[in-house]
């Protein structure tokens, strides 16, 4: 997880050194040019999504919000990157009591490709909390039942169970 500035600097240095090697007659410099292209592609394609998600996971909400602001066009992200962009945005909004926005972001995250059942269960648990706060216990129950069926970390499974047990009876 390289910062965008570091990724850019590495791409430029790799490109320049690769061009120098190719001009010198050493065609192994083509590998450096390929590495430069890969770094540049990542710089423009993913932006800071993974760094923001890592910051959210570490509890650094302000840093995550700053990194999410650096993503220029979230709509152009791939399905997996978009899912984690929305998940991180949902966590940031939820931590700032922007419940309506958080709910929208979490729903979008669940519509895209979250990599693990653990991440999906976590998103569903946070969404269920927001639904309970909005006084929608029926929908919260439905979301929590889906989350309970997933294989996830024990701490998340315990939190899901607590949320489920706290729901009012139908």
Please state whether the predicted TM-score (pTM) of the whole model is above 0.75.
Answer: yes
Enumerate residues 6+ apart whose C-beta is below 8 A from 97.
none
pLDDT for the residue 4? 65
Residue 150 is classified by DSSP as S
Q: Are residues 98 and 133 in the same domain?
A: yes
Q: Are residues 106 and 73 in the same domain?
A: yes
Task: Give the length of the chain.
Answer: 170
Domain count, the chain: 2
Q: Are residues 25 and 105 in the same domain?
A: no
DSSP strands (E only) in the chain: none
Q: Are residues 52 and 23 in the same domain?
A: no
Enumerate residues 6+ apart whose C-beta is below 8 A from 68.
48, 49, 52, 85, 88, 89, 92
Low-confidence ranges of the chain (pLDDT < 70): 1-4, 43-47, 170
pLDDT in tens, 8-46: 788 888 889 889 888 988 888 899 889 888 877 776 666
Q: Are residues 24 and 98 in the same domain?
A: no
Q: The domain that contains 135 carries what CATH number?
A: 1.25.40.10
Q: Are residues 67 and 99 in the same domain?
A: yes
Q: Look up the domain containing 5 and give its range.
A: 1-45
Residue 72 is classified by DSSP as S
CA distance 63 to 86: 16
CA distance 34 to 158: 46
CB atoms under 10 Å from CB of 58, counted, come to 10
pLDDT for the residue 3? 67
- Residue 112 near residue 79 (C-beta atoms within 8 A): yes
Q: Are residues 32 and 15 in the same domain?
A: yes
Q: Are residues 31 and 94 in the same domain?
A: no
């Amino acid at each position: 997880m390289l910062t965008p500035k570091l990724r850019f600097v590495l791409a430029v240095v790799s490109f320049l050194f690769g061009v120098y090697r190719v001009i010198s007659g050493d065609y192994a410099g083509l590998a450096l040019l390929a590495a430069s292209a890969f770094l540049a592609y990542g710089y423009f394609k993913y932006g800071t999504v993974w760094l923001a998600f890592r910051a959210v996971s570490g509890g650094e909400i302000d840093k995550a919000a700053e990194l999410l602001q650096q993503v220029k066009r979230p709509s152009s992200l791939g399905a997996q990157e978009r899912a984690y962009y929305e998940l991180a945005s949902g966590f940031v909004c939820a931590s700032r009591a922007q419940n309506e926005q958080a709910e929208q972001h979490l729903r979008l995250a669940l519509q895209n490709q979250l990599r693990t059942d653990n991440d999906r269960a976590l998103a569903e648990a946070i969404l269920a909390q927001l639904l309970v706060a909005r006084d929608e216990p029926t929908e919260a129950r439905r979301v929590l039942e889906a989350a309970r069926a997933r294989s996830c970390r024990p701490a998340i499974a315990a939190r899901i169970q607590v949320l489920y047990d706290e729901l009012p009876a139908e």
